[in-house]
Amino acid sequence: MKIVAAGASTGGPQALAAFLSGLPAGFHRPVLVVQHMAPGFTRGLADWLGKITPLRVKIGTQGEPLSGGTVYIAPEGTHMVLNRSGDSLRFSDGPPLHMVRPSVSMLFRSVAEVYGRDSAALLFSGMGADGAEELKQLRNLGAATFAQDRESSVVWGMPGEAVRLEGAEHVGPPSVLAAILSGMAAGSSNRAETTDNGERR
């Protein structure tokens, strides 16, 4: 697993807080987040999340190189995607998708194209279906996919649609999803440090 992407809408800030605060300080993957928000609130969200999670949280900027252990939140009014090499961010003012911009679907499509099975993607509480079909696509590629459960969601729209499409491999409250993802990341790191004959590099 080389990168994590997450999408949320109504009820998302609380879900993101529970999820991000459940990741360890040594979580060395970049985390890309699209949160549907009213104009003027994204900066406050980043500042708030930065105070309650062990990871660095910031608003993504054009051409910014990705760094492990950093959460990049999509700025208002623009789609956030990856460059072709997958090592930096780029932004598009293309038309809204699912009536929103930034769109979770746009982010997930980019992650699927660049990283495929070497990624993880999560859908948290929110209205509509933004990102649901793309989560299914990512699962088909072999990526680790997650959706917030009905009980802990404010609105079980986006994650519920992903579950209906069988796009989510893991379903649960954000804190549980964080624990599962952390375990997967630790396991993939250990495998990366081991040669084919089982010796440590």
Catalytic, 93? Answer no
Q: Which two tokens stand for residue 54?
A: 């062990």
> Which is it for the CA torsion 30, 44, 15, 33, positive or negative?
negative
What pLDDT, on the 0 to 100 scale, is given for residue 73? 99
- Residue 196 falls in the annotated catalytic set: no
pLDDT for position 189: 60
Nearest to 74 by CA among 45, 48, 97, 98: 45
Model pTM greater than 0.85? yes
Examine the pLDDT at 195 and tell me if it is beyond 70: no
Taking all residues of the chain, what is their mean pLDDT, rounded to a whole number?
A: 94
| Structural domains for the chain | 3-192 (3.40.50.180)
What's the pLDDT at 190? 53
- Per-residue pLDDT reduced to its tens digit, 135-188: 999 999 999 999 999 999 999 999 999 999 999 999 999 999 999 999 999 987
Task: Tell me, yes or no, if 118 is annotated catalytic.
Answer: no
* 168 and 162 Cβ atoms separated by less than 8 Å: yes
Given 79, 98, 103, 130, the catalytic residue = 130
Q: Average of pLDDT values for 59-74?
A: 97
Q: What is the pLDDT of residues 8-45, one digit of tens each?
A: 999 999 999 999 999 999 999 999 999 999 999 999 99
Instruction: Compute the half-sphere exposure of residue 68: CA atoms within 13 Å on the CB side of its CA.
Output: 10
